[in-house]
Amino acid sequence: MTDISNSTRPFRIYADRLFVGDGRESENMVVTYMDGVITDVASFDPAKPMPENSVHTPIAAPGFIDIQINGACDRQFNESPDVETVTAIANGARAGGTAYVLPTHTTAPGEDYVQAMRAVEAAVIAGVPGILGIHLEGPFLSTEKPGIHAAINIRPIEPRDIKNIGSFTGGKVLITLAPECQPKNSIQNLVSEGAIVFAGHSNATAQEIEQAISEGLAGVTHLFNAMSQMTGREPGLVGAALASDQLYCGIIADGHHVAWSNVKLSAGVLRCHLCLVTDAMRTLEGEETEFSVHGKQIRLQSGRLTDATGRLAGAHIAMDACVRNIINFAGVDAATAISMASTNPARALKMDDQLGYVAPGYRASLSLLSDGYRATGVLVDGHFFHVDRKP
């Protein structure tokens, strides 16, 4: 994937359809940017020729943001927490139209997550495009809802962990934890250190989630998966998330993790609080079909990643496919679906003053798509990349 523009001259993207954020769409619009910032958004006459330093696209949208991605291009963040892996994850994500990622480090022994934090910091210093920070999914989870995570390494958070997390200088820190398993005030202390805290791999009751919200809980990781479900008299984490008007919820729209009827329900209830995530593993834009994670052999077959028992182990999907899926199988309109991949995660990360919208003053970030919502290019802070997709 090649960066074809990082010019200090004005560059223009001509879009037949432009999604500007918040579910709004316009036709025949040109986006001008320079020095990594959008300088103008205006209409154009499609009968007139385009000037030099410009690109035409059927669809342009705010740059997609994936807040949960574990690997790509045959590299897994847990296995090789280094700059090369962070770069591979960003490259693999861009093939699906994603401009920005939070490389996700899952449950590992002790304080292994610190090495992952240092890798992201080094990648940011090295100027790797599209890195917004890090997502630590564990080890502060529930052994009752481990999913594919190694339960032996799951533990409660400790003061030294909060100090470690507070030392991160590579952007945003998203922490997935099980609120019911943590010492009192842990969420509040994490938030005071600048972390964004999501609940996941949790068996919490709705009451425990309400308490966590009062302490600063901001969202839910992969809604429906590895969490307490909704019943008639106990809403659980799923019910608490659907009933909340505050929590942002990630959801994996691959047709394997969540039934389409539940995706449709979530989209209808949550709308501007629902975030599409890929939860992609190393097979994304890779050559391998088998690998090991947490000591378990994982196999890719018919689009599913599972261990020997059939338990799901992350996903094999790109963000543009998630957008297509939620349109085609959950009945979500295109503008809302695109917001779920861009505007909503920008809000969840408290970055909607910079990303998630196409407007003057915002970072020059766009996802370019075909009429069928397949990625054809990605703009990341003024760096334009053509998408070279694997067949």
What is the domain-level CATH number for residue 193?
3.20.20.140
What is the domain-level CATH number for residue 17?
2.30.40.10
Taking only the tens place, the pLDDT of each residue in 351-387 is 999 999 999 999 999 999 999 999 999 999 999 999 9
> Between 389 and 252, whose confidence is greater?
252
Kindly report the backbone phi and psi dihedral angles of residue 128, in degrees, each rounded to the nearest multiple of 5, phi listed first.
-60, 125
CA distance 102 to 70: 9
- 242/360 same-domain check: no
CA distance 165 to 1: 33
- 31/176 same-domain check: no
Residue 7 lies in a domain: yes
Taking only the tens place, the pLDDT of each residue in 110-123 is 999 999 999 999 99
- What mean pLDDT is predicted for residues 305-326? 96
- Cβ atoms of 56 and 50 within 8 Å: the answer is yes
CA distance 147 to 73: 23
Q: Which range of residues forms the domain containing residue 32?
A: 3-61+356-386
pLDDT at residue 296, as a whole number: 87
- 330/373 same-domain check: no
Query: One of 161, 254, 279, 381 is an active-site residue; which one?
Result: 279
- 269/189 same-domain check: yes
Q: Is 144 helix (H, G, I), strand (E, B) or coil?
A: coil
- 57/89 same-domain check: no
Residue 102 lies in a domain: yes
CA distance 55 to 11: 8
- 174/192 same-domain check: yes
Residue 202 lies in a domain: yes
Question: In the chain, what percentage of residues exceed pLDDT 90?
Answer: 93
- 242/364 same-domain check: no
Residue 79 lies in a domain: yes
Residue 391 lies in a domain: no
Residue 96's pLDDT band (boundaries 50, 70, 90)? very high
**What are the distances in angstroms from CA 64 to CA 194, 217, 269, 320?**
23, 24, 22, 9
Is 279 an active-site residue? Answer: yes
DSSP string for 364-377: --EEEE-TTS-EEE
- 7/85 same-domain check: no
- 80/178 same-domain check: yes
CA distance 281 to 299: 11
- 219/363 same-domain check: no
Residue 204 lies in a domain: yes
Domain count, the chain: 2
- 165/206 same-domain check: yes
- 77/147 same-domain check: yes
Residue 229 lies in a domain: yes
Residue 19 lies in a domain: yes
Taking only the tens place, the pLDDT of each residue in 151-186 is 999 999 999 999 999 999 999 999 999 999 999 999
